[in-house]
A and B are shown apart, each in its own frame.
Chain A
Amino acid sequence: MAVLKTENLTKIFKKGWKEAKVALDGLSIEVQEGEIFGFLGPNGAGKTTTIKILLRLLKPTSGRAEILDKDLATAPTRLRVGYMPENPYFYRFLTGEEFLQFYAKLNHIPSNQRKKRIDELIETVGMNHARNVRIRDYSKGMVQRIGLAQALMHDPKLVLLDEPLSGLDPIGRKEIRDLVYALKEQGRTIFFCSHILSDVQDICDRVAILHLGKLLKLGSLSELLGTEKDRVEVELKMPEGTTKESLGIQGDFHNGIFKTMLDNTEQANQFLDQWKSKGAVVRALIPQRKSLEELFVETIRAQDPKVALET
Chain B
Amino acid sequence: MIEILTIGLNTFREAIRSKVLYLILFFMVLMIGSSFFLETLALDGGDRLIKNLGLSTISFFGLLVAMFIGVNLIPQEVESKTIYTIVSQGVQRWQFVLGKFLGLILTVYVNIALMTVMLLGILLYYFATTDMIEGVTFFWMIKAIFMELLAMLIVVAVAILFSSFSTPILSAVMTGCVYIIGQMTNDFWDYIRLQSEKQGTEIYCAFLKVIYYLCPHLDMLNLKKQVVHFEELGAAAASFPYGAGAFHAITYTAVILFIACLAFSKRDF
Contacts and interface: CB of A to CB of B under 8 A. Distances in A.
Nearest to B92: A77
Interface in A82-129: 82-94, 102-103, 105-108
Interface stretch (A146-154, A188-196, A208-216, A218-226): A146-154
Nearest to B16: A93
A-side interface size class:
35 or more
Interface stretch (A38-46, A50-58, A171-179, A231-239): A50-58
Contacts of B7: 106
Contact of B268 (A59, A90, A102, A108): A59
Contacts, number: 77
A52 B18 CA distance: 30
Contacts of B6: 102, 105-106
A90 B82 contact: yes
B84 A83 contact: yes
B3 A106 contact: yes
A55 B89 contact: no
B193 interface: no
B17 interface: yes
B129 interface: no
B235 interface: no
A89 B80 contact: yes
A22 B200 CA distance: 50
Contacts of A151: 85
B268 A85 contact: no
A88 B81 contact: yes
Contacts of A91: 10, 14, 80, 82
B2 interface: yes
Interface in A141-166: 147, 150-151, 153-154, 160
Contact of A105 (B2, B18, B85, B268): B2
Contact of A154 (B82, B87, B89): B89
B100 to A, nearest CB: 13
A90 B269 contact: no
A31 interface: no
A78 interface: yes
B89 A85 contact: no
B159 to A, nearest CB: 20
Contact of A55 (B17, B79, B88): B88
A92 B80 contact: yes
B206 interface: no
Contact of A102 (B10, B79, B81, B88): B10
Interface string B75-106: 00001111011111111000000000000000
B13 interface: yes
A58 B84 CA distance: 11
Given A57-B87, A76-B90, A108-B2, A88 B13 contact: no
Interface in A32-79: 52, 55-59, 76-79
Contacts of B85: 83-85, 88, 103, 147, 150-151
18 contacts: A55-B84, A56-B87, A57-B88, A78-B90, A83-B84, A85-B84, A88-B81, A88-B82, A89-B79, A89-B81, A91-B10, A93-B14, A93-B18, A106-B2, A106-B6, A106-B91, A154-B90, A160-B88
| 4 A-B pairs with the lowest CB-CB distances in the bound complex, closest first | A78-B90, A85-B81, A83-B88, A88-B81
